Amino acid sequence: VVSMAFLLPTLDSPCDDLPDIQDPRVSIRPIALPMCVRVRRFYAVTTRAK
């Protein structure tokens, strides 16, 4: 299982700094600013789930 802990710093980073996730279980890519909050919530939930 790939650790998702490296995602934690992105929660406080600018939206355009969200990483291009290679984990096949995570299909999120850096996306438009209006979706930033939802993406950050997804990252937080995903990280806690691990």
Per residue in 8-18, pLDDT tens? Answer: 454 444 555 55
Residue with tokens 């990483």: 19
Which tokens sit at 23? 């984990």
Q: Taking the model in full, what pTM does it have? A: 0.19
Number of compact structural domains in the chain = 1
Per the structure, the complete domain to which residue 18 belongs is given by: 5-49
- Tokens for 46? 């995903």
Could you give the CA distance from residue 21 to residue 16 in angstroms, rounded to a whole number?
13
pLDDT surpassing 60 at residue 30: no
Residue 43 has a CB neighbour count (10 Å cut-off) of 20
Most confident of 4-8, 19-23, 42-46: 42-46
Single-letter amino acid code for the residue at 8: L
Find which of 3-7, 14-18, 24-28, 42-46 is predicted with most confidence, using mean pLDDT.
42-46
